[in-house]
A and B are shown apart, each in its own frame.
Chain A
Amino acid sequence: RKEVEQDPGPFNVPEGATVAFNCTYSNSASQSFFWYRQDCRKEPKLLMSVYSSGNEDGRFTAQLNRASQYISLLIRDSKLSDSATYLCVVNIRGGATNKLIFGTGTLLAVQP
């Protein structure tokens, strides 16, 4: 089983739709969580950190469910510019250093 699993998609949604992605992780020592966005052939960029209490940034909402070991990303009122791959990243505490595990990403395509 992969340490971090995401549905690869693609998720094809019309403009204005609400879409949600989930990401599951297997290591209970996972400490912190992030969503990164990656445009085609570009570098990943941090979208948002995911806090235990959940957090919101404009149209984006991230949630963490430690009991079920998953995080989610909700995008409201989708824009064409939201089309990208969304990477789930889990930070696992281990010894002197932390270890970042990347999911393979979920592809979102917002249609006009």
Chain B
Amino acid sequence: DADVTQTPRNRITKTGKRIMLECSQTKGHDRMYWYRQDPGLGLRLIYYSFDVKDINKGEISDGYSVSRQAQAKFSLSLESAIPNQTALYFCATSSGVSGDSPLHFGNGTRLTVT
């Protein structure tokens, strides 16, 4: 089983709908992140959390919200989806022991907003 699991893998939704993307991890890491990936733009950080109930905005948090109710789970919500939120979304974890701690990514959620 994957250490970082995202659900769903694919989702098509309509403009204005509320969407939740789930992420769970078995690595025991405190730090969790949500990124989106768009062609030509690289991965961009949406939100991150260093511990339960700790929430921090990334560089593109507008239109998104997150919840970290347990160490192993970090969910991303789009309150009212819009077409430019169509992207590949990745959850990631890190141990945060040092600045060199690598990121461990989930298998991604491909979201299409029509």
- Using a CB–CB cutoff of 8 Å, the interface residues on chain A facing chain B are 4, 8, 31-32, 34, 41-46, 49, 87, 91, 93, 97-100, 102-105
The CA of A111 and the CA of B106, in the complex, are separated in Å by 29
* Interface size class, chain B: 20 to 34
Say yes or no: is B74 at the interface (Cβ < 8 Å to chain A).
no
The CA of A15 and the CA of B106, in the complex, are separated in Å by 30
Interface centre among B88, B90, B105, B108 (most CB of A within 10 A): B105
* B102/A49 in contact, CB under 8 A: yes
Q: With A49-B100, A91-B99 in contact, is A44–B105 under 8 Å at CB?
A: yes
- Using a CB–CB cutoff of 8 Å, the interface residues on chain B facing chain A are 40-45, 50, 56, 88, 90, 99-100, 102-108, 110
A43-B105, A44-B90 given. 18 additional CB < 8 A pairs?
A34-B102, A41-B88, A41-B108, A41-B110, A42-B107, A43-B90, A43-B106, A45-B105, A46-B102, A46-B104, A91-B99, A93-B99, A97-B50, A97-B56, A99-B45, A102-B44, A104-B40, A104-B41
The CA of A44 and the CA of B110, in the complex, are separated in Å by 14
* B42/A87 in contact, CB under 8 A: yes
* B102/A43 in contact, CB under 8 A: no
Closest to B38 in A: A104
Interchain Cβ contacts under 8 Å between A and B, 22 examples: A8-B40, A34-B102, A41-B88, A41-B108, A42-B107, A43-B107, A44-B43, A44-B90, A44-B105, A45-B105, A46-B103, A46-B104, A49-B100, A91-B100, A97-B50, A98-B99, A99-B45, A100-B45, A102-B44, A103-B42, A104-B40, A105-B42
